[in-house]
Each structure stands twice: as structure tokens, then as C-alpha cells.
A and B are shown apart, each in its own frame.
Chain A
């Protein structure tokens, strides 16, 4: 089954404690992206990747890091989480030939 998986689904952590949210896709897509969803703001892109070892900033990259060492995986790293990073995070992948993106189920992050 074609899918994008994210882990964990729910995470409560404290300010400053480094965390990683994993994302994996099994569709051999070149493009992957991380979004955050906040009430009234829709989906805002954090980082995206066009292929292995190729990443770039989206609209709201501050406080986040990513890496793309393998085509299928695109982890999101928060080196020192802060309360303003409390949000719902989605990973997505797509081919790049068209715009339809496939989304993971989301990770609800709370930073206290």
C-alpha cells in the first residue's frame, strides 16, 4: 500500500529537549516536505527536499532542521524546541511531475 508514515503520532516534551519526528514514504517520490498546521493559518511549509541531499527552506524554517540521506526518509529535527513550536506537523511526498501531494497522518507536538 502506497503511504507516508510518521512517528510518533503524539509527543509531549519540554522546552529545550531535542527531538526528531520521522517520515518515510514507499512511493519512490523525489519530493518531500514538512508542514505545520496552526488554527486559521492553513498549512505552512517548513522545509522541503527535491531529492537525496537536496533540501531547502520553506516559509517557516526557524527552529527546525531536516536531512535527506535516503530517498524514502525525511526526518524533522527540533534541536531546542520551544512552546511556539506546539503544532500539528505533516510530512508529504510527491513526484514533482504534478502537484498532488501524499500526506502522512500527522504528528501532534506539544512543547511545555
Chain B
């Protein structure tokens, strides 16, 4: 049973436009959500996070929105740049034993 789902395996966006990556979760006890970015042949790197007491968090071009009633979060990247092409993972916590529960990832492709 996947508690964190990223339903889009891939997403293609024109450079300069907005990229929106989505993530759904089922466990209402999750109180912290994170987005990670992963380039090929590298480990995931932390991008941005949000706690359940907020509904929005911004960091430069990246904004995460949290809709607790819908159990949904999204990552907005504006404007999208070629260097944003990567796999993006959504994660939520805490799971049992303080672990993070991860989505399957969305591959974002920014077209020039």
C-alpha cells in the first residue's frame, strides 16, 4: 500500500513556463513533507519542505503548496530552466520509526 503517490511518471515543460509536480498521500498523521531532486548518477538532494501547519512555502523559484483536506501537495517551479530537468521525489514523515515515506518520483524534462 503506497502511502505517498506521484501519479505522473514524467512531465515535459517548455523552458520559461511553470512546472507543476503533484503528490498525494493517504496518512493524515504525516506532519512534514519534503521534495527532493535527483540527477542521474547522483543521490537525491533536498529541495524544499513544508510542515503541516503551513499551506505554502517558497524558496526562490520553488514553491510547495499543501492541501491537507485533499491530502495533496504540489511543487511549482517558475520559471522552469534546463537545469531543472531531473527526477523529483516527494516524501512524507514521520512514518513508523521516524522514517520518511517516498513517492515513486516524477521525471521532469525541460524543453528548450
Contact = CB atoms under 8 A, between A and B. Distances in A.
Interface string A67-107: 00000000000000000000000101000101111111110
A33 B99 contact: yes
Contacts, number: 55
A66 to B, nearest CB: 14
B80 to A, nearest CB: 23
Nearest to B33: A99
Q: Which interface residue of B43, B91, B97 has the most chain A CB atoms within 10 A?
A: B43
B89 A43 contact: yes
Given A40-B9, A42-B103, A43-B89, A103 B44 contact: yes
Interface string A33-58: 10100001111110010100000101
Assign chain A's interface to a size class: 20 to 34
B30 to A, nearest CB: 10
Interface of A: 4, 31, 33, 35, 40-45, 48, 50, 56, 58, 90, 92, 96, 98-106
Given A40-B9, A90-B43, A99 B103 contact: no
8 contacts: A42-B4, A42-B103, A43-B91, A45-B99, A50-B98, A90-B44, A106-B41, A106-B43
Contacts of B93: 99
A48 B102 CA distance: 15
Contacts of B41: 105-106
B104 interface: yes
A43 B102 contact: yes
A31 B98 contact: yes
Interface in B24-43: 32, 34, 41-43
Given A42-B104, A99-B93, A100-B46, 7 more contacts: A31-B98, A42-B6, A42-B105, A43-B44, A45-B99, A96-B98, A99-B32
Q: Which interface residue of A58, A92, A100 has the most chain B CB atoms within 10 A?
A: A100
B97 A99 contact: no
